[in-house]
Chains A and B, each alone.
Chain A
C-alpha cells in the first residue's frame, strides 16, 4: 500500500513546485537579484527537503530494486537483473520455460484503469449536483461543506468495513430486501467489481465535491440568469455557461479522484475479497507472500508511468477543449 500511494503523492507535489521556480525576479541591482534568488531557495527548501527525502528518495530505491534479484525470503540480492521488469509483461512456464504475455498483470492493470475511470465518472455524476446544491444555498453553506467532510473523520478501514456490513449477504440491504419479500436469495454485492466501485466512489467523493464547490462558489449565478434571458434552456445554460466556468474544478477533482483510485489498496482488498485485485493489491502481493521485491518495484514504477501518461493526456485534452469554447 505504502508504495502504491507514495508514487501518487510524489506526483502531486512534483507539479506544485514549478510555478514557484518560474517566478524569478529580474531587475534592479545584482545584489538585490542575488538576494531574491536566495530568498526563493530558502522558501523552496522545506518543499524540496520533503520531496527529496520523502518522495524522490524512496522512489529512487524502488527504481533500483526493480533491477535487482529477489532474495529467498523477501528483500533483494545485489545482483543486476531485468527479470523483475520481464515478469511485469511476460510469464515463463514453470515446466517448459516457454514465454507468454503476463495476461494476469495486464488484465489487473486494465481493470484498475477501468475501475478508476468509472469511479471518477461516478464521483463526478454524484459530486456535481452536490457541489451545485451547496454553492447555490443562500445560507449555511459551511454546514453542508462540514457534512461533506464527516466521512474523513473515521479511519478508511473502518469506513470500508462499514460498507461491507451494509452490502454483505447477511447485511442491511439484503436482510431488508428479503424481509420485504422482494428477493428470496441474497444478492451477491460484496466481493464484486461493483462493490469496489461503490466503495471507492464513496471514499473519494469528497475529493470531487470540494474542488467542484470551490470553482462553483466563484461563479456569478447572475450569468446563468443572463443565459436564460438569452434563450438558453436549462441544459444549454449548464453546458455553455456553468460547465466551462467550473472546468478547473472538474479537472482538479478528476485528478484527485483518479490517482488514488488507481493505486487504491484497502477498498479492493476488503470489498473485493482478495479475488478482485487492483494494482495496489498486486504490488503488495509481490512484497508480501510473493517475495518478489524486484517485480513489485517494477510494477510500482509501471503504475507511476501510467498515472503520469494519463495525467498528461487528460490535462492536455481538457485545456484544448477549453480553448475551443473561446
Chain B
C-alpha cells in the first residue's frame, strides 16, 4: 500500500491548563490516502478545525505526531508544508485583487512572472472567475470569495488541500453547485482533499471516506455507505441520518453474527461488532426507511401518534408498546396508499438484514 498522504498517530491537543483545560483532540489515529476526498464530520466544537490546524502547522500537537507522505512534520512551520488551506472565513487579503490573492502563494514560492500569470489565469478559469480578476476582494459576493479562496489554495498545487467548512456560508443552491464543483476540482487536480463539515448530507454525497468525530475523538472511519448502513456507535447512528434505537435480546452468537429478539418476540439476524460478545442485551439501530407499516405479522407494534407529509415521502411517528418512539418513512405514491389515522394501533415490519447492533 502506498504511504498515506496524511497520517495522524495518537494526536492529542489540549488547550489551557488546570481546571479550564480543554481536550480538543484525544489520541486521534487516522490515515488519509493519496488523492482521497476525506471528510471530517462532527458537531460544533468536536475538534475538526483543531485537527486541520495541526495538519497545516498553525498549532502543534500536545501529544502524538503528524506525518505527511510518511515524513514527520513536527516543528515544521506552515510555510514549509506542502499543504494549503481554504479557511472557514476565506481569509482573503483585502488589500489585493482577486488575481493578486491567487498569485500570492506562487510569488512566495519564487515562481517566475510568466509562470505566475499563466497559473493565475488557469486557476481563474477553473473556478470560473476570469471576468472578476481585477476586482478588490471586498467587492465580490460570498460565493465568489469562496471560489477565490479555493483558487488561491489550489494555485501552488499543494499535495494536500484542507477545506474548513468552505460551503457553510452559502445558500442552498450555490452550495449544491459548489459541491459538484469541488468534486470536479478534486478529480481534475488529483490533490488529496481533507474536507470539514458538520452537514451530514454534504459528507455523504461528496466523500470517499468519512471520519465521524465527537468530543475530540474519531468514532468511526468508513465510506459513506459504511457509516450510514453500519454505524458502529449510538452517536454515529444518531448523527448521520435519522435513526430508531431499540433494545434487543441476544439469543445466540455464531461467527460474529447474532440472533436477536426484538420487541414483540420476532427474531432476526445481525452482525455483532467486536467486543460485544457476551452481552445479552444490546441497542440496535433501524433506519426509518428500512421499516414499513404492516397490518399482518409485524416486528413491532404500537400506536400511531403523528403523520408528517414531506412531499417525496411521509414520516409516521409510532409510540411502541414499550414506550419508545419509532419513526417509519415510506415513499409516497400517486394513489396515496391507504390512510392511517393518528391514534389507531399499528404494526411495524423491519426488513431483513436492516438491524445494526451498536457498540456503546
User: Do they bind each other?
Assistant: yes
- Give A contacts to B, CB under 8 Å: 220, 222-223, 225-233, 236, 240-241, 244-245, 325-326
Given A225-B78, A236-B108, do A230 and B84 touch, yes or no (CB 8 Å)? yes
Looking at the complex, which one of B78, B93, B94 makes contact with A228 (CB distance below 8 Å)? B78
Residues in A whose Cβ lies below 8 Å from that of B84:
229-230
> Once the chains bind, are A229 and B78 in contact (CB under 8 Å)?
yes
Residue B104 at the A interface, CB < 8 A? Answer: yes
Are A225 and B104 in touch, CB under 8 angstroms?
no
Q: Decide yes or no: A226 and B58 within 8 Å by CB, A232-B108, A240-B104 being known contacts.
A: no
**From B97, which residue of chain A is reached at the shortest CB distance?**
A326
Given known A-B contacts A222-B89, A229-B56, A326 and B96 have beta carbons under 8 A apart:
yes
The number of residues on chain B lying at the interface, defined by a beta carbon within 8 Å of a beta carbon of chain A, is 27
Which of B56, B78, B87, B96 counts the most chain A CB atoms within 10 A? Answer: B78
Asked if B79 contacts A226 (CB within 8 A), the reply is no
Instruction: Report the minimal beta-carbon distance from B107 to chain A, rounded to whole angstroms.
Output: 8
- Residues of the B chain whose Cβ atoms lie less than 8 Å from the Cβ of A236: 108
| Selected A-B contacts with CB under 8 Å, 28 pairs | A220-B89, A220-B91, A222-B87, A222-B89, A222-B91, A225-B58, A225-B78, A226-B85, A226-B87, A226-B91, A226-B93, A228-B58, A228-B78, A228-B79, A229-B58, A229-B79, A229-B83, A229-B85, A230-B105, A230-B152, A232-B79, A233-B108, A236-B108, A244-B95, A245-B94, A245-B95, A325-B95, A326-B95
Contact assessment for B100 and A326 in the assembled complex, using a CB-CB cutoff below 8 Å: yes
* Contact indicator A241/B58 (Cβ below 8 Å): no
* 6 A-B pairs closest in CB distance: A230-B105, A226-B91, A231-B108, A228-B78, A231-B79, A244-B95
Of chain A, the residue at the smallest CB distance from B80 is A231
Contacts of B57 in A (CB 8 A): 228
Cβ-based interface call for B77 (8 A): yes
Q: A220-B91, A227-B104, A236-B108 are in contact. Are A325 and B96 (CB under 8 A)?
A: yes
| Residue in chain B with minimal CB distance to A225 | B58
A229 to B94 alpha-carbon distance, docked (Å): 16
New contact pairs (18) apart from A230-B104, A231-B105, A232-B104, CB-CB < 8 Å? A222-B87, A222-B91, A223-B91, A225-B87, A226-B91, A227-B93, A227-B104, A228-B57, A228-B58, A229-B56, A229-B84, A229-B153, A230-B105, A230-B152, A231-B79, A240-B104, A241-B93, A244-B95
**B156 contacts A231, CB within 8 Å?**
yes
Identify which of B56, B91, B96 gathers the most chain A CB atoms within 10 Å of its CB.
B91
- Measured in the bound complex, the distance between the Cα atoms of B109 and A244 in whole Å is 20
Determine which of B58, B87, B92, B109 lies in contact with A231 in the assembled complex, contact meaning CB atoms within 8 Å.
B109
Q: Inside 8 A of B91's CB, which chain A residues have their CB?
A: 220, 222-223, 225-226
Min distance, Cβ A324 to any Cβ of chain B, angstroms: 11
B323 shortest CB reach to chain A, Å: 49
**B107-121 with Cβ < 8 A to chain A:** 108-109
Minimal Cβ-Cβ distance residue in B for A243: B95
Is the pair B108, A230 in contact by a Cβ cutoff of 8 Å? yes
Chain B contacts for A326, CB-based, 8 A:
95-97, 100
Q: Which residues of B contact A240 (CB under 8 A)?
A: 104
